[in-house]
Structure 1
Amino acid sequence: MRRRSDRAQLSLSAIEASVGVVLVLAVAAGFGLGLPQPETQAAQLDAYATDATTVLSREAPRHGGATRLSEVTRSETSFTRERDALERRVDRILPANLMFRLQTPHGSVGYRRPTGVPVGQSTVTTLHGDVTIWVWYT
């Protein structure tokens, strides 16, 4: 006949140690496998493009008009006159690691848009037409 004290019992220390090991392995696996990164590059580029158009659409004109963008969209002559200054201004607004293309009804400034890379875009409407900017990482 067996007595109650003859029965095998698992030590509480052994249970705690095994639970601890499982917990440490789970945490290590979580860090090792990691989580997929959300796609933030396109959203960040759109934000840069929107910031640039916002600054330009609220900036005072150099010669005439309500804003700088309305000045460059007014006529081909005003665009040609302001082309270089507009390109320098957009280049100063955007971070150094970005390239851009700004298109108005009368012409464009900046670089040729690449294919196969993420591009952010923003369009603002003026009295004389839409102005669109595309930005991408260099």
Structure 2
Amino acid sequence: MAEENRTADRGQLSLSVVEAGVGVVLILAVAMGFALGVSPPDDRAAQLDLYAEDAATVLAGEPPRHGGATRLSEVVRSSEAFERERAALRRRVARILPDNLMFRLRTPHGAVGFRKPAGVAVGSASVTTQFGDVTIWVWYA
């Protein structure tokens, strides 16, 4: 008889009240998801890397204008070759890339293009030639 009094003194929530509480929490969670939204993934850096790789691949595959194995190996052969080809290289990279992109191409003998800004997404690619590495960075204008 003592056991009966103990169970009668305890209060229990009905199962339907517990289910209703869980349902309210679930509905509020879904509503907050719609209200706040989910930020889209930042795929700008990946796209910029692809642009940089494409430009580097095109430049690495082009024949030289004056001598060497490729256009890039000609440009990085010497300081004199770089200075001679600087303006043409800048124009060529500008033609390869879309109009909404800016770039900087660095060789062992100098760089062409624009200064890289701080705090923006930048894509990059490198090509190794027999005379040194060439790196290109691209970003949205």
Classify the TM-score, shorter chain: 0.7 to 0.9
Aligned partner of 2:10 in structure 1 is: none
Aligned partner of 2:75 in structure 1 is: 72
Structure 2 residue matching 1:37: 3-state secondary structure: coil
User: Which amino acid is the alignment partner of residue 98 of structure 2?
Assistant: P
Give the Å deviation of 1:46: 0.6
Counterpart of 1:98 (choices 95, 101, 119) is 101
Q: TM-score, normalised by structure 2?
A: 0.74
Give the Å deviation of 1:35: 3.4
CA offsets 1:9-61 (integer angstroms, 9 cap, x no match): xxxxxxxxxxxxxxxxx7x9876654321110100111100000000000011
How do residues 81-96 of structure 1 correspond to structure 2 at under 5 angstroms? 81-96=84-99
Structure 2 CA distance for aligned equivalents of residues 32 and 85 of structure 1 = 52
- RMSD over equivalenced CA pairs, Å: 1.7
Structure 2 CA distance for aligned equivalents of residues 50 and 31 of structure 1 = 38
Aligned partner of 1:113 in structure 2 is: 116
Unaligned runs of 5+ in 1: 1-25
Counterpart of 2:39 (choices 36, 41, 60) is 36
Aligned partner of 1:63 in structure 2 is: 66
Structure 2 residue matching 1:118: 3-state secondary structure: coil
Structure 2 residue matching 1:39: 3-state secondary structure: coil
CA offsets 1:73-128 (integer angstroms, 9 cap, x no match): 00001101000000000000000000000000001000011111111111110000
**Post-superposition, which runs of at least 4 consecutive aligned residues in structure 1 deviate over 6 A?**
28-31
Q: TM-score, normalised by structure 1?
A: 0.76
Structure 2 CA distance for aligned equivalents of residues 36 and 111 of structure 1 = 31
Total equivalences in the alignment = 113
Structure 1 CA distance for aligned equivalents of residues 113 and 44 of structure 2 = 21
